[in-house]
Structure 1
Amino acid sequence: MTRWTPDPTFYPSPSQAATAPAEKLAYVAAFDRSASRPDAIAVLDTDPDSPDYGRVVGWTDLPHLGDEVHHFGWNACSNALCPTAPHPHVERRYLIVPGLRSSRIHVLDTKPDPRQPQVVKVIGPEELSKRAGYSRPHTVHCGPDGIYLSALGGADGAEGPGGIAILDHTTFDVRGAWEADRGPQFLAYDVWWHLTQDVLVTSEWGTPSMIEDGIIGELLLGRRYGHAIHFWDLARRRHVQRVDLGDQYQMPLELRPAHDPRKSYGFVGVVISVEDLSASVWLWHRDGDAWAVTKVIDIPAEPADPADLPDLLKPFGAVPPLVTDIDLSVDDRFLYVSCWGTGELRQYDVSDPLHPVQTGSVHLGGIVRRTAHPSAPDEALAGGPQMVEVSRDGRRVYVSNSLYGAWDDQFYPDGVGAWLAKLDVDVEAGGLTPDERFFPHGEEFRGRRVHQTRLQGGDASSDSYCFP
């Protein structure tokens, strides 16, 4: 794994990363909700000059059943070039793929044949529990000093606290829990950072029992899911500040800090307000010596005939947007917001982060709309834009339609299907257009549902930088 020159996919700054060559492959998490077949990593051809463009060209089954692979990431990325903790000779080669339900962690090597990743190591739940005190691994981020893995549960599947485990860059051994002093933090979900400012940020979802079977109405209306984000001293691994958004704003999930290391802000998406079913996006930013959050985007629920709604929503007579993923382009200009409930991907110009301006929108699927893809205009789609991934140059956006098995079943009880779409971006004026040539769906994914996408060579949500 040792290299004598840095990996050519590493870039010291976001501006240089934006000039990187276009990805030729995409890796996609594909899971079997029934747990009767193994989950897999599907490989898609993203080269428009290839005869296989837009098709599944590789497939790697995982060795066990019942993992529910969810969020996964690279073992190493551009922050390996950071001067404070340099690891310039590691490679962006291995995919770290956790199972949210099984607590297993899979290491896949993409180098021998990028179209056929090979499982080279499986870390069992007992090792994660024994060495770090965690279970239910969720999100993977490559850091300059190791691999950061957020987890929702405590040791042996306990209710918590959730937190962050650190894996070794080269052996992938679980080194231990990251936190030296967690303060009041108990619930966990995402983790990100401002590396050059020694700031780490975490968000909240729920404990294993709170998420196992989907949204629990009593907990949601009782405002029991997460509603705060936490700021930490990255160098000392100590909790600094908890910022509560208000308990009506349930489930602040995905964190997207600015890529420019000189900037001290980022965005967090909130799934739902229990007061009106709206969704929102908030900006975290400095407020003197402390941190503050400001709501900068509000997306209302859409009225609907209760007859068209799943049981969970019938009493409300409305479709909530359900903002379940956001992504920020590498140049920090466009923020993409997935409204999985209404079946919409929104694009906002956030050049002024306190005053976003909507510049684009595409509808696909949706609880009520079921909007078809332009390449298959007679095929009503279930699910909606969910996981969002943006290419490094900002010209392509990939969206997949499954959120989490239990949520899929609640909001799309007639089946969520499986599809992935690519959207082309007008990087000058803003705007999104579906690529009619790129729409893998249905049995191309062998009966699995599709979740997160990672792009060969890196993407907007997997790299962070230390140079402006």
Structure 2
Amino acid sequence: MDKKDARSCCRHGPGYATPLDAMKNGPREKLLYVVVVQPNLDQPDGDYLATVDVDPTSKTYSQVIHRTYTKVKGNELHHSGWNTCSSCFELKSEDVSIPKRDKLVCPSLNSNRIYVFDLSSDERKPVLYREIDGSVLDEHNVSAPHTTHCMYDGTVLISTMGDRNDNAKGEFIQFDSEFNCLGTWTRGDVRPDCGYDFWYQPHFDVLVASEWGAPKLFKRGFKMSDIENPKEYGRSLHFYRLSDHKLFQTINLGEDGITPLEVRFLHDPLKCIGFVGCALNSNLYCFYRPNENDEKFVCEKVVDIPNMTVLENNVEVKRGGMMSDILISLDDKWLYLNNWLHGDVRQYDISDPKKPILKGQLFLGGVANLKNVSNVDDDKDSALKPVFMNGRRLEGAPQMLQLSLDGKRLYASSSLYSPWDRQFYPEMIEKGGHVVMIDVNNKTGGLTLNPDFFIDFGSEPNGPALPHEIRYPGGDCTSDVWLAETANK
């Protein structure tokens, strides 16, 4: 059977049969769902999910067209994920109901609440479907929920970073398709010290997880002294078997790998290779299995971004890039990453995953643009130039990234985490963050800021706000996981 015919000739679940099916046949995005944090903790509507019109033929193009408020202060919504995805595309003959991708799950880092938004009645106007109270996580001695992934068995898995007292603890909390809590996921006696992001490849029976740090530490802002204890600020990757939920390997990345955050497998379900971006020193690592008969992984540093030397109040300081997001195009050719403190977005050709080649770079802010800060690096002149959109200076720097299915448009938001925003980019707290669109040359490489698209979260109804993660209806490059069964058809 031809792969492109798999969708039309049989019953199937949500998403696409293969990553290339999504890339070639998926529609152009018309809406974005942006998780937005309200930094004013006295504002009663709290954080919200913003719907942004990105249809260039629409009269409301490049505007926030709806806001769904949580109506609770101090949540700190952060990441989001779907109730189901392409990992549920293949249906068994006995399956009666077809799962629908119509719920967006948004955990809160600070309050431990989990919000579920319903898109089934109107994609342009999500409604709050369910609020899972923080006491649910407390009952299972976990806190600071982060990454949400729909699993191939129909459940929803969320990584957590702390215990009920905000000490470091790497774990996962699992929910069924109706969002009833099933408890923690990990089995066995071996557990990681820290948690953060995760991804999985069903064909190889593996889930990989990364580390940030103890919530009690990162919630109060960044302190260089915090990283000295590896049990409280992570530097390891963890590999689990999906079949028995047991941790079978931990790789310590050392000092160069402190804070390994966003982790991605290649989209091809038949390839057991991936990347992790290590934030503090802006290093990119590639992990893979060198022996197909051995479940153990190796991990190699493949990109090392030098520190930027700046003068802060006439004191010379070395600033790491703070690589806080990475994503991979659906054809597994391009990897995009940000340096939140340096202020740039980079595009790498990963046709050879062990030898990425830099093909595009764009500066959109960064610490060199702050008051009382100047750049003393001769090779980063472009970082000295403030960027303006519609007369508004971009505060902060590129943070969360999302790529269009066809790989031609890259969206970037500016907020990392409000306590850290306040510490590193205080003017973004006062003036609000933003979302921009970057036009991508996905043939030979290159990044260009699109001058016609700009979402200014400084002019929101409830005051300046901070945009973080971005999703599309129908799935995107950082939510879907594929199965070998559909790839082989």
TM-score using structure 2 length: 0.88
Q: Indicate the SS of the match to 2:238.
A: strand
Q: Deviations over 1:213-258 (max 9, x none)?
A: 1112211255551000001111110111000101343100000110
Contact in 2 for aligned 1:265/1:286 (Cα 8 Å): yes
Unaligned stretches of 5+ in structure 2? 1-9, 371-384
User: How much does 1:134 deviate?
Assistant: 1.5
Contact in 1 for aligned 2:38/2:47 (Cα 8 Å): yes
Q: Which residue of 2 aligns with 1:76?
A: 84
Aligned partner letter, 1:95: L
User: How much does 1:164 deviate?
Assistant: 0.6
Residue 233 (structure 1) aligned with residue 241 (structure 2): yes
Contact in 1 for aligned 2:160/2:195 (Cα 8 Å): yes
Change (3 A) 1:339 1:160: closer
Q: Which residue of 1 aligns with 2:452?
A: 437
Instruction: Give the distance between the partners of 1:137 and 1:39, measured in 2 at CA.
Output: 16
Instruction: Give the distance between the partners of 2:350 and 2:78, measured in 1 at CA.
Output: 28
Aligned partner letter, 2:348: Y
149, 152, 159: which is aligned to 1:150?
Answer: 159
Q: Which residue of 2 aligns with 1:453?
A: 470
Aligned partner letter, 1:200: L
Q: Which residue of 2 aligns with 1:218?
A: 225
Contact in 1 for aligned 2:137/2:143 (Cα 8 Å): yes
Residue 271 (structure 1) aligned with residue 274 (structure 2): no
Q: Which residue of 1 aligns with 2:146?
A: 138
280, 283, 286: which is aligned to 1:283?
Answer: 286
Unaligned stretches of 5+ in structure 1? 274-278, 309-313
Change (3 A) 1:84 1:282: farther
186, 206, 223: which is aligned to 2:213?
Answer: 206
90, 104, 109: which is aligned to 1:100?
Answer: 109
Q: Which residue of 1 aligns with 2:482?
A: 465
Instruction: Give the distance between the partners of 1:84 and 1:372, measured in 2 at CA.
Output: 54
Q: Which residue of 2 aligns with 1:11?
A: 16
101, 109, 124: which is aligned to 1:115?
Answer: 124
CA RMSD of aligned residues (A): 2.0
User: How much does 1:375 deviate?
Assistant: 3.6
User: How much does 1:85 deviate?
Assistant: 12
Aligned partner letter, 2:40: S
Q: What does 1:166-205 correspond to in 2, within 5 Å?
A: 166-169=174-177, 171-181=178-188, 183-205=190-212
Change (3 A) 1:253 1:184: same
Matched residues, percent identical?
A: 34
Contact in 2 for aligned 1:286/1:292 (Cα 8 Å): yes
Residue 63 (structure 1) aligned with residue 57 (structure 2): no
Q: Which residue of 2 aligns with 1:311?
A: none
Contact in 2 for aligned 1:103/1:124 (Cα 8 Å): yes
Q: Deviations over 1:392-416 (max 9, x none)?
A: 2111111000001111122123435
Q: Deviations over 1:322-341 (max 9, x none)?
A: 10111111111110010110
Q: Indicate the SS of the match to 1:187.
A: coil
Instruction: Give the distance between the partners of 2:92 and 2:137, measured in 1 at CA.
Output: 27
Aligned partner letter, 1:133: N
Moved more, 364-373 or 347-356: 364-373
Q: Which residue of 1 aligns with 2:438?
A: 423
Contact in 1 for aligned 2:411/2:435 (Cα 8 Å): yes
Q: Indicate the SS of the match to 1:305.
A: strand
Q: Which residue of 1 aligns with 2:41?
A: 35
Change (3 A) 1:31 1:85: farther
User: How much does 1:5 deviate?
Assistant: 5.1
Contact in 2 for aligned 1:334/1:347 (Cα 8 Å): yes
TM-score using structure 1 length: 0.91
Instruction: Give the distance between the partners of 1:437 and 1:414, measured in 2 at CA.
Output: 24
Q: Which residue of 1 aligns with 2:327?
A: 327
Instruction: Give the distance between the partners of 1:5 and 1:116, measured in 2 at CA.
Output: 28
Q: Indicate the SS of the match to 2:217.
A: helix
Runs of 4+ in 1 over 4 A off after TM superposition: 82-88, 221-224, 370-374
Instruction: Give the distance between the partners of 1:84 and 1:173, measured in 2 at CA.
Output: 23
